[in-house]
Amino acid sequence: MADEQDAGNWVVREVRTYHPDDHEWTARSIPVDDLTPGIRFLLKGTVYTGAPNDSAQVKSAAFNPPVSLPTFPRQDVLRPTASEVLGHEDELADYYRRVTELTEPRRPEYNYWLRLSLENASRSMEVNFPWWDRLADMSEFMTWLRTAPTGTGYLDQDQGWMIRAFRSEARLHFLDSDPEDHEREVLNVSVARPDFLHRLEQAERDARQVIAGLKSRLGMDPWS
């Protein structure tokens, strides 16, 4: 149980405890057999160069200069997948070089974040992982996807986001929800496991290849 304030009065709110193997929600999963994992580089058209936590500087254009983005083709200008970057590592390295020069000596980590996404071909459905910023943050989940026995689940949550996954025979189920908003379901989908794992291996292989290229060009690796 937990307390919260409602219109000036304190009320009691029940706090639910979740278990990874709970799977009643899988009966509502929408089959999406072209669901594809992608590891994305999060780019920005401007870069914050001011002091940390200075609200005036955060809002000032003087402390948010523009930075030229790469020009290689991609579906999402600010979130290219590793597969889209392949063959264009020089361009992406030039972008990060400009970002680094603008933000020296601090080099804030958020300028180099990655993002895992699970998306269908038409991009009308996407499972998000907003709190995983590096490959290391994704590794436990990826290992679970590859090795989970039938009938077992996975769970992670942070600040208004929760991901649940479950393996049922030959399918993987994913539930993206907001536990702080009455357990609102953002997306509940399932996919055939063998084909999905093949696409996952390709996505991770592409990401590691791009990161290795960036490291050789820039002498740093904030993405792994």
Q: Provide the 8-state DSSP code for 80.
A: -
The pair of three-digit structure tokens given for residue 107, joined into one six-digit string: 């080099």
Range 179-206 average pLDDT = 93
Q: Which residues pair with 66 in a beta bridge?
A: 46
pLDDT of residue 222: 97
Which comes out higher in pLDDT, residue 121 or 175? 175
Express each pLDDT in 156-165 by its tens digit. Answer: 999 889 999 9
Residue 27 has pLDDT above 80, yes or no: yes
The pair of three-digit structure tokens given for residue 76, joined into one six-digit string: 């999402």
Q: What single-letter amino acid sits at 113?
A: W
| Secondary structure class of 149 (helix, strand, coil) | coil
| Secondary structure class of 152 (helix, strand, coil) | coil
Residue 213 has pLDDT above 80, yes or no: yes
User: What are the domain boundaries of the chain?
Assistant: 32-50+57-218
pLDDT of residue 106: 83
- This prediction's pTM: 0.89
